[in-house]
Structure 1
C-alpha cells in the first residue's frame, strides 16, 4: 500500500472521469445574450429562489495609509486610498421577472471598464504582450453578470425551493414563500465578505457570489488594490475632502505627476522582485513573504473599510455612501449608472452585521485565515469558508498561542489539483485541526472536489471550459463543480449560523456532502485519482487514456449513469468528493450552544441539517445590533514578516 500522494493501488484500466456525477442544477437562459455563442459568452443564471441585484461602490478610505517600505519607481506600491466592491444581493420578485426583463435595468460587465486595458492587464499577468489580451478576452468582453444593476433589495421571503427542486424552474424566482414562524415580516439577510485570489477581481467570482445572493445572502466582493489583481483603477475625488492632495497629506501617500494630472491611479499585478514565480510549488527561492505579508495587511485593511461602509448602509445612511461613490459618470472605469435608482431606505437594518462569514479563494483564502486568527480585530466574523487556499501565501506570523489561533467554524474546499500539492494539503489539514483544538474548539470540515482544478471555483472554468478541459485536464462539469461548492458552503452555514440567520437560506439542495463518510487521502484508491507528474503538481490533472476520453466526455458520463441505474446502484459519497475531516454532531451542537444569545436579533425556529438552538422572543422590532468601530492600526514604514 502506497502512502500519500499515490493512494491505494488498484487494477489498471479503471474509470478516468468522475463517476456517477449528478447533473448540474437547472440554469435556463434569460435572453438572446445568454444563448448565442458569439459575440459574447454568458454566465449561467443563479439557481436560488431569489433574483440577484448588484451595486458597484468605490469610496475614499476613512483611514488612508501606506503599507511597508516597498517602492517601485520611487512610489509606495501598497497604499490604501479607496475601497472598491461589488454588492451581490437578493432582489424583489415583484419588480423583476426573468421572462420579461426590464430594459431600464442594466447588467454589470464581467470584465469591467475599460475592457481592453483590463484584458491587457491579464495578458501581462500571464507573461504575454498586452495586445494578446484582446484576443484572449474578446468573447468575454461582451459578457455581463446575470444580475440586475441597482435593483431593489428583496423584501419578501422566498419559497424553500430552487430552480432544480421546483417544477417551475426559473419561475420560482417570481414566487413568494411563507414567512417562517416567529420571523419578521421582511427577512434580514446574513452578510458575507469575499476576498479574491491572485489574478482575480471583484467580478471574477460572480458565480459564487451571485449564487450566495440567490439563496438569501448579501455578499460584499472586494477588489483588492494590493497588486494581486491584473489591473485596477483607483479614482480620487475632484473636489472637497479626499482629493489626491488630501490623500497625500492625511495618509502620507505619494503619487506620480501623471497620476495627479489624470486624477486616478493604475495598479497592475506586482511581481516579487527577483522572484516573479514565487507562487510555484517548485520555486527554489520560496515565497516573497516581505511582499505577501504586506499585501495581506493591506487586504485586511480594505476588508475593514468595506465593513465600515456596510455599517453606514445598515444604519440607514446609504445615501451618504452614494454621495461619496466614485464609480459614476465622469470617473475612470465607471458606468454612467452609478448607484442611480437604489432606495437606500430599504436597506436600513435589512442585513446582519454580526456572525459575518469571511470567504475567499487562493490568496483570498489565506486572507480569510488571517481574519479568523485575529478575533479581537475582527469580532464580527463568525465563520470562514476557504476555497483552494494558497497556504504558502499565509502570513509568516505564528499561531502558537491560543489567542492567535482560529477560533471559529471553518469549511475548507480543495480542488483535486491542489490536494496533490503535499505541503499545501498538510497546511490546510493543519488549519482544520487548529480550528478544532482546545481550549476553544470549533467545528471544521475539509473536502476535495474530484476532477477539479484551481480555477474551478471561479468564473474562468464556466467561460473557458474547453481551455480548462484541454490544458488543465479538468474532468468535472464546471457547473456541477459550482453546485458542489455552493451546496457544501450552504450546508456548512446551515450547521453553524444562529437560527435567525440560517432560516433565510431554506432553498438549497442539502446533498449531505458534509455528512459523507470520511476518506483519508492515503486510503483513496489510486484509480480514483487524477494525479499528474510532479512537474504539473497544483497546475493540472492527468487523464488516463485521454484520447479515448476526448471522444465524448458527456457520453462517458451518460453511459456511466445509465449503467448505474440498470444495476440499481446509487451514487456513493466518494463519487464526487473526498471528505477528509469533519466534526461530530455533538461538536456542532456545542458550538451553537456556546453562541446562543450572542446574536442581537430575535430568534426564530428553523429546521436545519442539525438542531439549531435559540428561543423566540416577543414580537416587535429586533434589538439594535452592536456597531463595531474600527480604529486605524499603527503603521510602520518597514518590511513585514
Structure 2
C-alpha cells in the first residue's frame, strides 16, 4: 500500500458539489444527532471538516477495540486526526430542486463520520443524506448536552457573539462555553449477559432514532423552525420545500444494515432499504415475513456466514424485491472510510482492506446502491446504467440466489 500521504478520502464524482454540516436538533439524549451531506452551491471560502470530529472519538475507538486508552487514543489521533472530508463545511444549500432523502445508520463501534466516502458520493448524485449518530450505546462514543433543552434554546437565541458563531465542531474548543457535553461511552457486554437481548433492544432504539430523524426532515420541509444547538451551522430553514418525502430510503452498514431492514418493517415511509454487509444477528425471526419493502444486500466476501445468507434469502416474497450481491475481494471494513485511511500496518492489524482496490470496492457499493434506489424510488436519473451490478454482472460482483 502507499505511504501515509496517499491515504485520503476521494472526492465525489457526481454532478453536485457537496456541503456538510452537523445537526443536533435538541441537546438531550433523546434528540436527533446526525451529520448532513447535501448538494450545495459553490462557496468562495472552502472549509473542510475533520474526519474525526473531536478527540473523544479516538478514546471511544480505543475502548471499543479494547485497547489501553492512554496509548491507543493518541496513536489513533496521530493516524487519523489530520484527515479531512472533501466536502464544503456549511456551504449554502442548493435549492434548485427537490432531493430524495437517505437516512444512514452506522455500524457497531462507529460514529457519524465513518461512512463519509459513501455518503459524500451519494449526495453528489443529488440526494440529501443524514448519517445518524446513535445514542443506544453502540457508537464508540457520542455526546449530548447536560442543560435542559429549554435552556439550550434560550442560549442559542441569546448567542450573538461572532466568536461563538464561528465555532466548528472539529475545533479544539468543541462547544460554546455555556454548554456542557455529556459523553455516552460504548456499552460492553457484561460477563454472562445475553447478547441477543441487548442487540435486539438496541436495534429497536436505532430504528426509532432513524424515524425521529425522518420526522425532523418532515418538519423542516414543512417550514417548521428547527433549533440546531450546534451553533453557527447551516440554517436548516433554507431546505423548506426541497426534500422529496415521497422518495425516502434507509441505508446502513453492519448493525446499521439490520437497522435498515427493521426500519422498513416499522416505518413504511421508507420505500426501500440498502443493507451494506448486514449483521443479521440482532433481528428476531418473526420480522422476516413483515419485510414488504425492497432490500438490497451488498455483502463482503469474508463477513457473511451461511446462516446469515440464509436469513437474507428468507426475506424473499412475492411483494418485494430482494437482491443479494457479494463484492469479491472485500472485507467487512471495505464499506467504511477505514479502508481508505489505513496503511499496510493498520490494515493487517484490523483487517481494513481486502484484495480489491479500496476505491474500486466503494465504487461498486455506491453504484449498485444508486441503481437500486432509482429502481425502487422512481427516480428520473441515469443510475440504471449500473443495473448490471444488481444481476451480478461485473468482474468483482457475485449474485447470490
Same fold (TM over 0.5): yes
Higher relative contact order (CA 8 A, sep 6+): 1
Separation in structure 2 between the aligned mates of residue 91 and residue 506 of structure 1, nearest angstrom? 20
- Displacement, 1:423? 1.6
Tell me the TM-score normalised to structure 1 length.
Answer: 0.55
Residues 574/151 of structure 1: CA separation in 2 closer, same or farther (3 Å cut) = closer
Separation in structure 1 between the aligned mates of residue 8 and residue 303 of structure 2, nearest angstrom? 27
Residues 81/263 of structure 1: CA separation in 2 closer, same or farther (3 Å cut) = farther
CA RMSD of aligned residues (A): 2.6
CA deviations 1:497-520 (Å, max 9, x no partner) are: 22xxx12x436852621234xxxx
Residues 453/36 of structure 1: CA separation in 2 closer, same or farther (3 Å cut) = closer
Matched with 1:56 is 22
- Match for 2:241 among 346, 349, 366? 349
Matched with 1:399 is 287
Are the counterparts in 1 of residues 90 and 233 from structure 2 also a CA contact under 8 Å?
A: yes
Unmatched 5+ stretches in structure 1: 1-34, 65-79, 97-101, 156-185, 244-260, 276-284, 329-337, 517-572, 582-641
CA deviations 1:116-156 (Å, max 9, x no partner) are: x221111111111112121133131111111111212224x
Matched with 1:413 is 298
CA deviations 1:369-409 (Å, max 9, x no partner) are: 111222xxx12110000001111122x26137x5xx11011
- Displacement, 1:315? 1.4
Unmatched 5+ stretches in structure 2: 154-177
Matched with 1:233 is 143
Matched with 2:233 is 339
Residues 233/425 of structure 1: CA separation in 2 closer, same or farther (3 Å cut) = same
Separation in structure 1 between the aligned mates of residue 13 and residue 181 of structure 2, nearest angstrom? 38
Residues 202/239 of structure 1: CA separation in 2 closer, same or farther (3 Å cut) = closer
Are the counterparts in 2 of residues 41 and 139 from structure 1 also a CA contact under 8 Å?
A: no
Residues 366/53 of structure 1: CA separation in 2 closer, same or farther (3 Å cut) = same
Matched with 1:611 is none
1:208-223 maps to which residues of 2 (within 5 A)?
A: 208-223=118-133
Matched with 1:575 is 395
Matched with 2:229 is 326
1:300-449 maps to which residues of 2 (within 5 A)?
A: 300-317=207-224, 320-321=225-226, 324-328=227-231, 338-339=232-233, 342=235, 344-345=237-238, 347-374=239-266, 378-394=267-283, 396=284, 398-399=286-287, 405-419=290-304, 421-431=305-315, 433=316, 437-438=317-318, 441-449=319-327
1:547-562 maps to which residues of 2 (within 5 A)?
A: none
- Match for 1:515 among 380, 386, 391? 391
More helix by share: 2
Residues 106/309 of structure 1: CA separation in 2 closer, same or farther (3 Å cut) = same
Residues 83/267 of structure 1: CA separation in 2 closer, same or farther (3 Å cut) = same
Residues 428/272 of structure 1: CA separation in 2 closer, same or farther (3 Å cut) = same
Matched with 1:47 is 13
- Displacement, 1:262? 7.8
Matched with 1:494 is 374
Are the counterparts in 2 of residues 235 and 326 from structure 1 also a CA contact under 8 Å?
A: no
> Which protein shows a greater Rg?
1
Residues 511/299 of structure 1: CA separation in 2 closer, same or farther (3 Å cut) = closer
- Displacement, 1:362? 0.5
Separation in structure 1 between the aligned mates of residue 120 and residue 228 of structure 2, nearest angstrom? 22
Residues 301/119 of structure 1: CA separation in 2 closer, same or farther (3 Å cut) = same
- Match for 2:81 among 130, 141, 150? 141
Any idea what SS the aligned residue of 2:329 has?
coil
Any idea what SS the aligned residue of 1:448 has?
strand
Matched with 1:272 is 189
Matched with 1:152 is 92
Tell me the TM-score normalised to structure 2 length.
Answer: 0.86
Matched with 2:358 is 478
- Match for 2:134 among 224, 227, 230? 224
Matched with 2:38 is 89
Separation in structure 1 between the aligned mates of residue 106 and residue 30 of structure 2, nearest angstrom? 19
More strand by share: 2
Residues 314/36 of structure 1: CA separation in 2 closer, same or farther (3 Å cut) = farther
Any idea what SS the aligned residue of 2:102 has?
strand
Any idea what SS the aligned residue of 1:447 has?
strand
